[in-house]
Chain A
Amino acid sequence: MGRLRTIARRTFLIGSVAVVGGVAFGTYLVRRDIPNPLEDDLASGEATFNPWVKIDQDKITLITPHADKGQGVASTQAALIAEEMDLEFGQFEISFGTPSPAYWNTAMGAETAPFMATDESFTAETTRAMMGNLMKVIGLQGTGGSSSMPDSFDKLRMAGAVARETLKHAASQETGVAIAELNTEGGAVILPDGTRIPYTALAATAAGIEPVQDVTLRDPSTWRLLGKPMQRLDIIAKSTGTLNYGIDLSVDGMVHAAVRLDPCRNGQIVNYDATAAKAMRGVTDVVEITGGLAVLADNTWRAMQAANAIDVTWGAPPYPAEMDGHWQALEASFSPELLDSTWRDEGDVESAIAAEDVIEAEYRSPYVAHAPLEPLNAIVRVTDDGVEVWSGHQMPRQLQTVVAGITGHAEGQVTFHNQFMGGSFGHRLELDYIKQATEIANQMRGTPIKLTYSREEDFAQDFPRHIAMGRARGTVADGQVNTLDLSLAAPSVIASQMGRLGFPVAGPDSQLAAGAWNNPYGIPNYRMTAYRAPELAPTSSWRAVGAPAAGFFFDSFLDELIHQAGADPMEERIRLMDHDVSRKVLEAVADMSSWGGELGPNQGRGVAFVESFGVPVAEVVEVTATDAGIRLDKVWVACDVGRVLDPVNFENLVQGGVIFGLGHAINSEITYAGGMAEQSNYHAHEAMRMYQAPEIFVKGLENGAHIRGIGEPPVPAAAPALANAIFAATGERLREMPFHKFMDFV
């Protein structure tokens, strides 16, 4: 009952997006078929059965529209189609395809519904379905929120099955053999006598057949590709340095550009002198763009050097110039008028707190940069007839919209060639670099412009992970955790990000406290309150969005309470866990790590559990306190994604997420001085070094009812597990990231 009442008070962030967009959200719009974009330029003899499969006489092309930022999703999408089509790797090409509402993300909306992932009630499931429909209505094509596999799993297998059955139909038409007697294998239809007709040979006939929609998906027990280790399609090119990323591309006649943008992000140039820059070798022009200046030159390096040589005086930032002001704003945000939502309120926190000795703690999580290895870049060519864009981006249709808005073309005249990306971590959800490249190219119609950010500009212009502050109170009784009351204050990432896309948002932000409100613990008195601080520095979704900060606060404080109760950190978490799938994750990690076993001198272990994007993740970190600092020895991770589609890629993604979470927890922070980010490059915002990296053991469980993505969920539990391990080894409790401010790591 409590749940229903809570929901009735809430509006949905994404809901207001649709209203602002003027979308009438009716049955017709949900049910209508969206045109297949592959039909637009289909040549004679080419066949397409749906937006994901195209076949001609020479080759089979599978469209893998989710952006690949290194997570390997292009391969897994292709495998989903290939499994049902009976294709082997090597028998097809892949393409990211063209932006289209046909590639709407069915799964991205579910996370915005304000229900715990563990809530499978009718109301919760209905709301999620509604959010999915909304995604279709607005045609939201996007990669993010670890939604690629949830979005693709059924849809792409269905696409492959439709193609397979239609090709069998074509073979039957050509040979006269009944469909029931036909099989498929290795990219061919097999006749009863063993004759193989390659799909490519059937393309012309298939092109004239209405795709067969009544298909059955393969039973997982018969899978040839899925569920087994696959060699990623990009791995040879990546390993040999031959894969072209956006930053590697060139277009004939292209001019190089670099930007010098307002580091205070207010777009205000008080004055500037570009005389020296214009006189530098190779420089052809300096032009004004929104938010700053752009230099055009005959190569990237010269453009960057000249950009640095411009003498600019910038205006004041629209946020506190110094860090103290940011933290003070958070401190002042724990007030009733800034209440965003009380996400959990179970038991009777106030009475419990009044009756028992109260344990209190305050936590902090800093701004951190996305800092992908491949700095932002884009090539744009604007002509009177249309615009072409080459870049890596996670929101292709929003890209089309903003480019068309700048140049005055129709959205359909904007052709986007999406590229493999050298990382993103959320940075390539932003459109600024696309806008800037387009503004420059629009001033030089006919000339392709390649904009490349320097690393320093990438850091200066990043929209980092939000800062957050947590204030926790709790009680223990009879050796057990009794009350956990966590309040969190942070600016809304979603509001900042959606605001730049032109979508005002309303209602509570479920990401604000994700990782703290959605952990399925049955703590007797459990309250989670989120306060929405005013917008400070502009922020953006960073890998796992809200959960790295809120999960650190929540699990660290739970660990403090368990310590106070004198209970075992693992056993007490298992005892409190209210959700079978999640409990099994904790039990698995306890088993893998031989929790409770002997430890060496000065060794300590910490466990943390954080649910993120529907994935329960438990991590155990083992450290040794050495004379030179903390050494990370081993990490064990168990998580549940419902179904592991590629065990090797899965393991790699989890390991990468753990390293990412640990490295940032130890080393990384963006601070502002004079309104500008003080950290300009990796030296001051380090990744984890290879020699510091622990051995990481991974187990993917398959008990969950829904298939989930694993790109982000391994990140949030890493920091609290490490802090808890350090406490176990040293007795020192770390309540603020980055940890290197308090101790050395070796």
Chain B
Amino acid sequence: MTRFLKVLAVGMMASLATLAIADEEAAVIDPPAAGSVSITEGLAAFDRVYEVTSHPRCANCHVGASDRPMWSGPSYDRTRPHGMNVQAGESRIGAETMLCSTCHAYREGLNDVPHAAPQVAMNWQLAPIEADWFGRTSDEICTQLRDPQRNGGRTMVELAEHLNHDLILHWAWNPGGGREPAPYSLQQHVDDLLIWGVAGFPCASD
């Protein structure tokens, strides 16, 4: 295949992927009215947010400067670094000579084979170093997530929209291959994030 055709094919697959979200999986962003959520309700919502963020489907790629994605959770018999000695590199998309997408390439439909590389997003990559969640407590993630320095300067709604845009995040609730999905649902998670935001981003240590 010529390079042109390759680029074309990749572009088409990317469009298909985007369409898939737009049509089927996007969550509705509908925050509660300002002032309608108590701190207690906000903290309860964050407890659920923490269940999601600390779940292996999410936390495995939210690693920090170690640059090594993790394998943990019920699909693995023990917690350990990703087995292929992958390094995320500065780009976080894989050491620049071997991208995450070398194995985690896009393919239509889920890869339902257990223990084969999940293949759903074009841009499989690690979360930014600032979003280092792996093994962290609820309170640590809470303060991290509301800190503009570490959340990409996002508002509550922008955090929710971010969840809507990223295919990898959608995959977390529908991972296939016998993998345990993240708890609740994308919609519930977006709702909880918004409830927490409307309550003023309370954290247990406040």
Tell me the A663-682 residues at the B interface (CB within 8 Å).
679-681
Bound CA–CA A689/B81 (angstroms): 12
Bound CA–CA A730/B114 (angstroms): 37
Decide: B83 and A689 in contact? CB cutoff 8 A: yes
Bound CA–CA A14/B24 (angstroms): 68
* Interface assignment of B115: CB less than 8 Å from any CB of chain A: yes
Decide: A740 and B78 in contact? CB cutoff 8 A: yes
Nearest CB in chain B to that of A740: its residue: B78
* Interface assignment of B23: CB less than 8 Å from any CB of chain A: no
Tell me the B69-117 residues at the A interface (CB within 8 Å).
75-78, 80-81, 83-85, 114-115
Tell me which residues across on chain A come within 8 A of B76, comparing CB atoms: 683-684
Bound CA–CA A691/B84 (angstroms): 8
* A686 with B83, Cβ < 8 A, contacts A681-B115, A740-B78 known: yes
Decide: B115 and A744 in contact? CB cutoff 8 A: no
The 8 Å CB contact of B85, one of A628, A683, A686, A689, is A689
The 8 Å CB contact of B77, one of A628, A684, A691, A744, is A684
- How many contacts A-B (CB < 8 Å)? 22
Nearest CB in chain A to that of B83: its residue: A689
Bound CA–CA A689/B75 (angstroms): 19
- Would you give the 0/1 interface string for A676-718, flagging 1 where the beta carbon is closer than 8 Å to chain B? 0001110110100111000000000000000000000000000
The interface on chain A, measured as residues whose beta carbon lies within 8 A of the other chain's beta carbons, has a size of 14
Decide: B85 and A744 in contact? CB cutoff 8 A: no
Tell me which residues across on chain A come within 8 A of B66, comparing CB atoms: 628
Bound CA–CA A256/B129 (angstroms): 49
Decide: B115 and A683 in contact? CB cutoff 8 A: yes
A718 to chain B, nearest CB (A): 20
Bound CA–CA A740/B84 (angstroms): 17
Residue with the highest number of chain A CB atoms closer than 10 Å, among B66, B76, B78: B78
Tell me which residues across on chain A come within 8 A of B81, comparing CB atoms: 746
A98 to chain B, nearest CB (A): 40
Nearest CB in chain A to that of B80: its residue: A744
Tell me which residues across on chain B come within 8 A of A684, comparing CB atoms: 76-77
Bound CA–CA A605/B115 (angstroms): 36
B115 to chain A, nearest CB (A): 5
A373 to chain B, nearest CB (A): 16
Tell me which residues across on chain A come within 8 A of B78, comparing CB atoms: 740-741
Bound CA–CA A744/B75 (angstroms): 18
Bound CA–CA A145/B84 (angstroms): 33
Decide: A691 and B115 in contact? CB cutoff 8 A: no
Nearest CB in chain B to that of A690: its residue: B85
Tell me which residues across on chain B come within 8 A of A741, comparing CB atoms: 78
Residue with the highest number of chain A CB atoms closer than 10 Å, among B76, B77, B114: B77
Bound CA–CA A98/B80 (angstroms): 48
Bound CA–CA A496/B77 (angstroms): 29
Nearest CB in chain B to that of A741: its residue: B78
Nearest CB in chain A to that of B75: its residue: A683
Bound CA–CA A689/B83 (angstroms): 7
Bound CA–CA A689/B84 (angstroms): 7
Bound CA–CA A707/B80 (angstroms): 43
Tell me which residues across on chain A come within 8 A of B75, comparing CB atoms: 683
Tell me which residues across on chain B come within 8 A of A681, comparing CB atoms: 114-115
A213 to chain B, nearest CB (A): 57
A664 to chain B, nearest CB (A): 15
B81 to chain A, nearest CB (A): 8
Tell me which residues across on chain A come within 8 A of B114, comparing CB atoms: 680-681
Bound CA–CA A376/B16 (angstroms): 40
Bound CA–CA A609/B197 (angstroms): 64
Tell me which residues across on chain B come within 8 A of A740, comparing CB atoms: 78, 80
Tell me which residues across on chain A come within 8 A of B115, comparing CB atoms: 681, 683
B109 to chain A, nearest CB (A): 15
Bound CA–CA A740/B114 (angstroms): 23
Tell me the B153-184 residues at the A interface (CB within 8 Å).
none
Bound CA–CA A501/B76 (angstroms): 36
Bound CA–CA A684/B76 (angstroms): 7
Bound CA–CA A111/B28 (angstroms): 73
B205 to chain A, nearest CB (A): 27
Tell me which residues across on chain B come within 8 A of A690, comparing CB atoms: 85
Tell me which residues across on chain B come within 8 A of A744, comparing CB atoms: 80
Tell me the A592-637 residues at the B interface (CB within 8 Å).
628
Bound CA–CA A680/B115 (angstroms): 10
Bound CA–CA A746/B78 (angstroms): 14
A665 to chain B, nearest CB (A): 15
Decide: A691 and B85 in contact? CB cutoff 8 A: yes
Tell me which residues across on chain A come within 8 A of B80, comparing CB atoms: 740, 744
Residue with the highest number of chain B CB atoms closer than 10 Å, among A683, A684, A740: A683
Bound CA–CA A680/B114 (angstroms): 10
Tell me the A508-550 residues at the B interface (CB within 8 Å).
none
- Would you give the 0/1 interface string for A453-484, flagging 1 where the beta carbon is closer than 8 Å to chain B? 00000000000000000000000000000000
- Would you give the 0/1 interface string for A351-391, flagging 1 where the beta carbon is closer than 8 Å to chain B? 00000000000000000000000000000000000000000
B199 to chain A, nearest CB (A): 38
Bound CA–CA A681/B115 (angstroms): 8
Nearest CB in chain B to that of A684: its residue: B77
- Would you give the 0/1 interface string for A279-300, flagging 1 where the beta carbon is closer than 8 Å to chain B? 0000000000000000000000
Bound CA–CA A679/B75 (angstroms): 11
Tell me which residues across on chain B come within 8 A of A686, comparing CB atoms: 83
Tell me which residues across on chain B come within 8 A of A746, comparing CB atoms: 81
Supply 12 A–B pairs (Cβ within 8 Å), ascending by A: A628-B66, A679-B77, A683-B76, A683-B83, A683-B115, A684-B76, A689-B84, A689-B85, A691-B85, A740-B78, A744-B80, A746-B81
Question: Can you name 13 extra interface pairs (CB under 8 A) apart from A681-B114, A689-B84, A741-B78?
Answer: A628-B66, A680-B114, A681-B115, A683-B75, A683-B83, A684-B76, A684-B77, A686-B83, A689-B85, A690-B85, A691-B85, A744-B80, A746-B81
Task: List 9 A-B pairs, minimum CB-CB distance, nearest first.
Answer: A691-B85, A683-B115, A684-B77, A681-B115, A689-B83, A689-B85, A740-B78, A686-B83, A744-B80
Which B positions have Cβ atoms within 8 angstroms of A? Answer: 66, 75-78, 80-81, 83-85, 114-115
Which A positions have Cβ atoms within 8 angstroms of B? Answer: 628, 679-681, 683-684, 686, 689-691, 740-741, 744, 746
